[in-house]
Structure 1
């Protein structure tokens, strides 16, 4: 059996203190000086902190001591976003987080026309760089950025509709589709696990070593017309994705 590195031993020791409640959520980690008194070198301490950050156990910000994060996962049941209940309603971010005992909120960026990225253009059936409508959002859980959700729509659908307004949309894209006489059909999700870009790090307030999930969700109508592409970046340490597959 491989010998445990000192950094791994320190990470394990701190992890056990978190699990036992000795270091509760919100508590700062011991200072570097305190850990050095326990015969750990500065490089060992830095590596152990990086391990815990990758695991989503701590949050560190520039100029502040790392703090213990709560171990509450945001359980995303993807079907709930696209499947209506018996009364025709679809769960909102705020409603889903309320069910998990958290406060959900969002920050809407500047709504407007942008050049379609490669993957968005392919899914919407337009050329790369063509103009599409974009609604960029940062999703919050208890005030903490945990997800990016940038929605893209064809201009012929979005222009002059609530999708182009700088504000929340009652009923979302599904209401817009209904008012346009369009019926939502298939939905597809594609997941990848890249390193966060500099822009994503800034918007989510994370470091480059925090793991993310990039989810691209495309929506078509029952006639096969592409009507929406949502590009989401999820903090892997704060999410659990759950899927239920129909038998047929």
Structure 2
């Protein structure tokens, strides 16, 4: 087996043994030296295998103590397609209410931020065109649930009361309702879902470990003429939430 992949074989074996109950939740595992000897590999390989399982959320390292079997965290289901933007509340608040959580969110914005090439392509504007960029932190019962970074073309909102999402009489009511208040009707949205690993900043904000698996969602909203009016990168911690999309089937006319 290639040297750089040998740790995966060790990780697979340890994962199977943990799931078989060889070590109970909260129990300390043997040292990396012990595993290195048992598997006939170097200590660095054993260490990398254990770190791999820490990233997966199966093990946890405790400074100055060792490595332990991590208690599984309950994963709840976030159904994104069931909840549309409602007056005074967006889909996140509706989803959390359904799960008996008190939802809130905070955001900070910056205006006249030049669009990068990637963002310009998503918004069908020119690179360098000014945008309002907003960082969101969504909370449920005071605990972080998801992060989002949003871009809105200033060509749409400049000079209106909704230029900054957190300010004015329409502040903090959701992008669909904000846009509707200035005569822009959002008709559709597209979401691309990918797995990713938490950056240090994301991990700090979400209360997870650097490198933990996250669900990355690229969302773009379009008005009724097909023009992109907002795009966002949303990050949800995989260890706590799974994403589901409800498919509505139209019934035949009777």
**TM-score, normalising length from structure 1?**
0.70
Q: Secondary structure at the match of 1:35?
A: coil
Q: Which moved more, 1:148-157 or 1:90-99?
A: 90-99
The answer (yes or no) to whether the contact 1:56–1:237 under 8 Å persists in 2 is yes
The answer (yes or no) to whether the contact 1:54–1:210 under 8 Å persists in 2 is yes
Cross-structure match for 2:155:
156
- Residue 184 of structure 1: which of 174, 183, 186 is its match? 186
The answer (yes or no) to whether the contact 1:134–1:150 under 8 Å persists in 2 is yes
Matched pairs, number: 233
Query: What does residue range 132-143 of structure 1 map to in structure 2 within 5 Å?
Result: 132-140=131-139
1:162: how far off? 3.6
Which sections of structure 2, spanning at least 5 residues, go unmatched? 1-7, 37-42
> d(CA) in 2 for partners of 1:138 and 1:60?
27
Question: Which structure has the larger Rg?
Answer: 2
Cross-structure match for 1:40:
35
The answer (yes or no) to whether the contact 1:151–1:230 under 8 Å persists in 2 is yes
Cross-structure match for 1:129:
128
Cross-structure match for 2:244:
242
Which sections of structure 1, spanning at least 5 residues, go unmatched? none
Q: Structure 1 residues 175, 140: CA separation in 2 closer, same or farther (over 3 Å shift)? A: closer
Q: Which has the higher strand share?
A: 2
The answer (yes or no) to whether the contact 2:76–2:241 under 8 Å persists in 1 is yes
Cross-structure match for 2:5:
none
Q: Secondary structure at the match of 2:178?
A: helix
Q: Structure 1 residues 183, 49: CA separation in 2 closer, same or farther (over 3 Å shift)? A: same
1:6: how far off? 4.8
Query: What does residue range 58-69 of structure 1 map to in structure 2 within 5 Å?
Result: 68=70
Q: Structure 1 residues 111, 37: CA separation in 2 closer, same or farther (over 3 Å shift)? A: closer
The answer (yes or no) to whether the contact 1:7–1:44 under 8 Å persists in 2 is no
> d(CA) in 2 for partners of 1:232 and 1:193?
12
| CA displacement, residues 101-123 of structure 1 (integer Å, 9 cap, x when unaligned) | 55655442444342223332122
**TM-score, normalising length from structure 2?**
0.69
Q: Structure 1 residues 199, 71: CA separation in 2 closer, same or farther (over 3 Å shift)? A: closer
Query: What does residue range 1-248 of structure 1 map to in structure 2 within 5 Å?
Result: 5-17=9-21, 22-23=24-25, 30=28, 35-36=30-31, 39-41=34-36, 43=44, 46-57=47-58, 68=70, 70-82=72-84, 84=86, 91-100=90-99, 104-140=103-139, 145-159=144-158, 160-164=160-164, 166=166, 169-197=171-199, 199-201=201-203, 203-204=205-206, 206-207=208-209, 209-247=211-249
Q: Which moved more, 1:185-194 or 1:138-147?
A: 138-147
The answer (yes or no) to whether the contact 1:60–1:66 under 8 Å persists in 2 is yes
> d(CA) in 2 for partners of 1:112 and 1:63?
46
CA RMSD in angstroms, aligned pairs only: 3.9
1:216: how far off? 1.2
> d(CA) in 1 for partners of 2:240 and 2:81?
19
